[in-house]
């Protein structure tokens, strides 16, 4: 059996992709790796240990009820990244404002990290796959000063790296530094992530569409027409497609990365700007999917070209196999009016 490449070895081997970084990016990715293992350990205790499952009794900035593991994962990620001194600031879905490190070596950090520390946390209690999403930018302001809002409000085109960790039947870390996508599976017997999915490519076509059809009456007309297209029988295009909606964004996107498919969370009458967060969810996942040969848009505009105007900005999301997303965009363009029913 060939020797497996560990994540640590892979990061070192690819350091030449970033001659400007001088090792900082490698240490930053290593911090995320460590935090992922700690969170994975706690996720796997759910149901066995008191005070892990259930609500934390408070809401985040989006008005969503925080789960206890949301808070735990957020703290673990922040602590791991702060300890490396490569990050001058962090933006998290769980915090009202960004965190700027204003003391010590971290002020000299060259990077900003944006993250959703535990995506899909409402599924924790029922043992459905959940995940962590992260993205890494180079700061805009001068090292040695306190990070400012402009460091965080960067478009996806400025990304240095992005990735996600999925905690499921196995724990995987999937990431890209702009040179393709690679997936690493955690070998729990030795506590090491090993390269299991090199050079991941999302199929150009798929047979799966993922959308919460319970909101059908509120969808834009273009989305309704696309769903009907997916459900129609046509041998030439191997339709009807299969509907698969987990309700855990990382899990839905990861499945489509492997098998091909499209995930849609459109604008609705209740959420006219969509529900998913641009900075914490849409941009990093769009970066990964594009690096794997897929497409990601808000139904009209490329996600990576959207310049954020606020930390917790929301946008619709159409993401997945190239041909499927482009077909959905065509329906959106043809039926541009947005449903207003509430």
- Residue 173 is labelled as binding a ligand: no
Backbone angles phi, psi at 333, to 5 degrees: -70, -35
- Which tokens is 278 given? 């641009």
Which contiguous run of DSSP H or E holds residue 224?
helix 221-231
Sign of CA dihedral 303, 308, 309, 310: positive
139-171 burial, b at 16+ Cβ within 10 Å, e below that, comes to bebeeeeebeeebbbbbbeebbbbbbbbbbeeb
Measure the CA–CA gap between 206 and 324, rounded to whole angstroms: 7
- Residue 116 is labelled as binding a ligand: yes
Measure the CA–CA gap between 50 and 56, rounded to whole angstroms: 13
- Residue 93 is labelled as binding a ligand: yes
- Residue 275 is labelled as binding a ligand: yes
| Angle in degrees, CA 243, 245, 246, rounded to 5 | 150
Are 267 and 314 a contacting pair, CB within 8 Å?
no
- Residue 44 is labelled as binding a ligand: no
- Residue keyed to tokens 């293992």: 37
Q: Which residues are annotated as a binding site for substrate?
A: 119-122, 212, 245, 275
Q: Which residues are annotated as a binding site?
A: 93, 116, 118-122, 212, 245, 275, 281
Q: Which residues are annotated as a binding site for Mg(2+)?
A: 93, 116, 118-119, 281
């Amino acid at each position: 059996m060939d020797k497996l490449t560990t994540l640590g070895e892979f990061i070192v081997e690819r350091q030449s992709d970033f001659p400007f970084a001088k090792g900082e990016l490698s240490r930053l990715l290593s911090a995320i790796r460590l935090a992922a293992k700690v969170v994975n350990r706690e996720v796997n205790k759910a149901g066995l240990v008191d005070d892990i499952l259930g609500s934390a009794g408070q809401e985040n900035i989006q008005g969503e009820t925080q789960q206890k593991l949301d808070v735990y994962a957020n703290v673990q990620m922040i602590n791991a990244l702060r300890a490396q001194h490569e990050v001058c600031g962090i933006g998290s879905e769980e915090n009202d404002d960004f965190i700027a490190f204003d003391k010590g070596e971290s002020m000299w950090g060259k990077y900003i990290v944006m993250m959703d520390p535990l995506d899909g946390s409402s599924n924790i209690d029922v043992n459905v796959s959940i995940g962590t999403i992260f993205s890494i930018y180079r700061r805009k302001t001068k090292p040695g000063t306190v990070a400012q809002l402009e460091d965080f409000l960067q478009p996806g085109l400025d990304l240095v790296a992005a990735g996600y960790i999925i905690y499921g039947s196995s724990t995987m870390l999937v990431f890209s530094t702009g040179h393709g996508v690679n997936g690493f599976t955690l070998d729990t017997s030795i506590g090491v992530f090993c390269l299991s999915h090199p050079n991941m490519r999302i199929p150009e076509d798929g047979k799966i569409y993922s959308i919460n059809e319970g909101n059908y009456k509120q969808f834009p007309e273009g989305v309704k027409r696309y769903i009907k297209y997916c459900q129609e029988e046509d041998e030439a295009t191997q339709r009807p497609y299969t509907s698969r909606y987990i309700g855990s964004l990382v899990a839905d996107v990861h499945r489509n990365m492997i098998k091909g498919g499209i995930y849609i969370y459109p604008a609705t009458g209740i959420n006219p700007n969509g529900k998913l967060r641009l900075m914490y969810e849409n941009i990093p996942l769009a970066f990964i999917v594009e690096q794997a040969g897929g497409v990601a848009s808000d139904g009209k505009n490329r996600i990576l070209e959207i310049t954020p105007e606020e930390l917790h900005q929301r946008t619709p999301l159409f993401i997945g196999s190239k041909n499927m997303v482009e077909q959905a965009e065509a329906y959106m363009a043809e039926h541009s009016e947005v449903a207003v029913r509430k």
